[in-house]
Amino acid sequence: MSTSYCERVFFPFRQALYRRVQREGLKSVYDEPDSELRRWIRRLTVLPAFAVPLVWNWLRQPPVSSDPVTSAKVIAFATYVEQTWINGDYPLSYTGLASVGEHLASRRIAIFGHTARLGEEVPAQQALRAHVDLSLGRPPGRDWQRRPGRPSNRWVDQIRNATGNIPSTLWRSAILRGHGTGVTQRPSPATRT
């Protein structure tokens, strides 16, 4: 990890957590060297380095305290972390990093474009073309039917939901984007053998 990333993300995040510890009145518990709360908060400070939703599921439960007042403060602290840093918009705008969902959507679109620009004899390109045709209402064959039990949400549908564009539009833009050829291949039914 670069130093600029650490300065831009880790230090302010740790500082915000420590300020919240002080605001919730948990400083005395946090300052105890063998405190379970201290270990839990120190684990929270590395959240920006990992896939936050996955790690948060593991760290979601704060340590239990025998004192009900301290327990209430710890729960308030955990609620602050979840509402501000996990579910809120603050971490994305603060760090400038894309969410996991946005990253997956961009990778799906990139793979879609790569597959669309493959040669017509490549099976992956034929399969993608068949899906694009199917989304336009053109089945691969006259007697074609969707298999029973197959999920109705296809990969092409996920791309459509992420971009708001129909697959044929994505197909044309992917072909036009490809290596300066400028050739537009029209989606047509996959080659039948």
DSSP secondary structure letter of residue 48: G
Write down the pLDDT at residue 148: 77
Closest C-alpha among 115, 126, 121, 132 to residue 177: 115
pLDDT at 193 over 50: no
Please name the residue ranges forming H helices in 6-64: 11-23, 27-30, 36-44, 52-59
**Percent of the chain at pLDDT above 70?**
73
pLDDT tens-digit series, residues 144-183: 777 777 666 677 777 777 778 777 788 888 777 754 444 4
Write down the pLDDT at residue 92: 42
Cα angle value 121/124/127 (rounded, 5°): 95
Q: How confident is the model at residue 113 (pLDDT cuts 50, 70, 90)?
A: confident
Mean pLDDT of the chain: 75
pLDDT tens-digit series, residues 62-94: 888 888 898 899 889 888 888 877 776 555 445
Average confidence (pLDDT) over 116-125: 86
Write down the pLDDT at residue 93: 44
pLDDT at 98 over 70: no
From the number of C-beta atoms within 10 Å of its C-beta (0-12, 13-18, 19+), residue 112 rates as buried
Write down the pLDDT at residue 110: 83
Distance of alpha carbon 82 from the chain centroid:
17
Write down the pLDDT at residue 100: 58
Which residue did the predictor score with more confidence, 192 or 164? 164
Axis-axis angle for helices 155-163, 123-135 (nearest 10): 60
Q: Which long-range contacts link 174-182 to residues 24+ away (Cβ below 8 Å)?
A: 174/112, 174/113, 174/116, 174/117, 175/116, 175/117, 177/113, 177/117, 178/113, 178/116, 178/117, 179/117
Q: 85, 13 in Cβ contact below 8 A?
A: yes
